[in-house]
Amino acid sequence: MNDIILYGAFDRHNYGDLLFPLIMERVINDLHPKKKVLIAGLINSNLSKYGARKTITIKKALKMSKNDATLILAGGDVVACDWQSAYGYLLPKSLFPLYERIACYYFPKFTQYITSRLVGLTSDLPFNLSRNDMGTSRKVIYNSVGATGVSNVTKEQDVNALCELMNETDFVSVRDKFSQSQLERVGCSTPNLAPDSATIMSSYITIDELEQKSSFATKDLIETHIEGYIVFQISQGHVRGKEKAFAEALSQTSKAFNLPIVFIAIGNAAGHNDVTGVHKVASLLTKGTTYSTYLDGNIFDLMNIIRNASCYCGTSLHGLITSMSFSVPRVALLPTLRKQINYMNTWDLPHMPKGVMPEDLSEAVGIAMTTPSKDLKSLGQKLTDTYMSNFKSMSSSF
């Protein structure tokens, strides 16, 4: 029996990254129950208080597994992600700005060298491992991953190196057409196109489980707003300078649809912090606007809050994917966030609003909420079927 190593950025508090191993482990246990599954990140982590799976280091996972093990990059925007980004998100939030503005800016090559050696690897990219780290006989699979970072790979030497690594893999599927085109550009054999693996969460996480694993505060919040509510999520970096505009837009939207606002914080890792932005926007709401906040970051609470929403508005790709899985209308915020736009252009209903600025928020929510329930459910089922078909093709490799 050969092992399966699920590998990715599962060691930081970010909603989407915590979903991948949780869901993929269930799918593998369901369809391949005899397989031993190891869950690995760059570091040992225990984020179980957020509902997440514990991780061991990828170095330890490779050492523990058999030579014929299969390494699955379980999700995320991992292709061509650099060491500076991957390691930086693991740092305390207080150190992240110094790391980004000094170490990465002034000493990029040295920073890359040091960070890779700190986690015991020699590969030039943290999630595109060389055979020196992988061993010669292990299989490598990329499971519905993002590859937006490939657009930054332009030097001939880097293009050739990435092309060689990707063409050595046993199976590659990507989650959007932009990622597919970028890998083709660098010479990768045309990868399969499949929805993000988190798409199937509503098939592998029951409503009963959500209720059991949601906190009393979350269930009380949902019950308090039983007639409906609008979920709003935005990271600190993306809201900066737009706090007042979003507060005015949310106040107007709440009044127009007679729905309260529920602010959620989906990420807490460095570079993914939502809490500060949420507090700022909430403090600027028009007097009399009804709102609640959920800032604790447990993945089951977040899933349950989004599942019960009248509409989800946010910058998080996996907030959007959660709404797609549970047939909730959605609005993707801000035109600069290409991960969300690329994904929705590939998979979502054509009219679902994306790249929305504050001044257009109320109209966008209205458009999203007029979507017939049967269309939302039909899309969710179609994406689930498409992903599972891809998984079955992929699992023939192991």
Q: Report the predicted TM-score, pTM, of the whole model to 2 decimal places.
A: 0.95
CA 4 to each of CA 68, 89, 125, 256: distance values in angstroms, whole numbers, following the listed order: 9, 25, 21, 51
pLDDT score recorded for residue 103 = 72
158-217 tens-digit pLDDT: 999 999 999 999 999 999 999 999 999 999 988 999 999 999 999 999 999 999 999 999
pLDDT score recorded for residue 2 = 75
pLDDT score recorded for residue 95 = 75
pLDDT score recorded for residue 1 = 55
pLDDT score recorded for residue 272 = 57
pLDDT score recorded for residue 152 = 93
pLDDT score recorded for residue 49 = 95
φ, ψ for residue 33, nearest 5 deg = -65, -20
Residue ranges of the chain with per-residue pLDDT less than 50: none
pLDDT score recorded for residue 271 = 57
Residue 290's identity, in one-letter code, is: T
- Gap between the Cα atoms of 359 and 363, Å rounded: 9
